[in-house]
Amino acid sequence: MEIVLLAILTFVAATIGTITGFGTSTLMIPVLVVFLPAVEAIFLVAIIHWFGDLWKVTLFRAGFSWRLLLLFGGVGLAASYLGAFVSLGTGEDLLMRVLGAFLALYALFLIFQSQFKAPAGNVAALFGGALSGFFAGMFGIGGAIRSAFLSAFDLPKAVYIATAGAIGLLVDSTRIVTYAWGGATLPEDLWYGLLVFIPVSFVGAQLAKRIVDRVPQRSFRVVVAVFLFLIGGKLLLWP
């Protein structure tokens, strides 16, 4: 039953995460940290998210912005390593409270993000890559920050999703290696569960490809933001 519920969560997160540009982590991490140790939850979702990035690159391979890939991805590699290193050295209770505060602030950012417009330049790309990479490494969540900076470059939607996926591949590869090197692992049943979760994430990404131009992203973002705010408050007050 645990595997079935996680598979459903993976499908929903992969579909909504691809449409909104968040990635699967934004929905999965807040749910899983309620039931699993924080580092274990982040490590599990990092593996699923890596394949989610691969699906984005495969399904939306109309092209990439190589300049943004190099700028975002290059600095994001170092920042994600730093974030993952910090999370591994942080106590469970403190990490949960910091994650809760981060999610609550992150939710407010998602709601009011439409007012934020990053300048479309190299400095903004480097800063966005560093910021999203660090938070992806530490909490497993950085997609919306990345999308806020990428959206300033007015990329065609397919190119935007492919570029975001390629950047995510670089960042996720770094943090997965860092987690594993630092001793993070999963229970045996969750290792076997990946045989289900990974194909399910692909099905969710395929569904997203069919509806990505038909659903207003703003509607998804508000619902996701409210959900994150509630979970963040819970973790901050009752870790």
Of residues 158, 164, 126, the one with CA closest to residue 143: 164
What is the pLDDT at residue 113? 65
CB neighbourhood size of 212 (10 A): 20
Q: 29 and 139 in contact (C-beta within 8 Å)?
A: yes
d(CA 17, CA 9): 11
d(CA 84, CA 80): 6
73-84 average pLDDT score: 86
Total structural domains within the chain: 1
d(CA 166, CA 216): 24
The answer to which of 5-9, 163-167, 212-216 has the lowest mean pLDDT is 212-216
Does residue 48 have a pLDDT over 70?
Answer: yes
In tens, the pLDDT along 120-138 reads 678 878 888 888 888 888 8
What is the pLDDT at residue 28? 86
In tens, the pLDDT along 51-72 reads 888 887 887 776 677 788 888 8
Q: Considering only CA atoms, give the Rg of the chain.
A: 16
d(CA 117, CA 128): 12
Does residue 218 have a pLDDT over 70?
Answer: no
183-187 average pLDDT score: 88
More confidently predicted of 215 and 109? 109
Residue 27 banded pLDDT, cuts 50, 70, 90 = confident
The number of C-alpha atoms within 13 Å of 90 and in the hemisphere containing its C-beta is 21
Domain enclosing residue 208, as ranges: 2-237
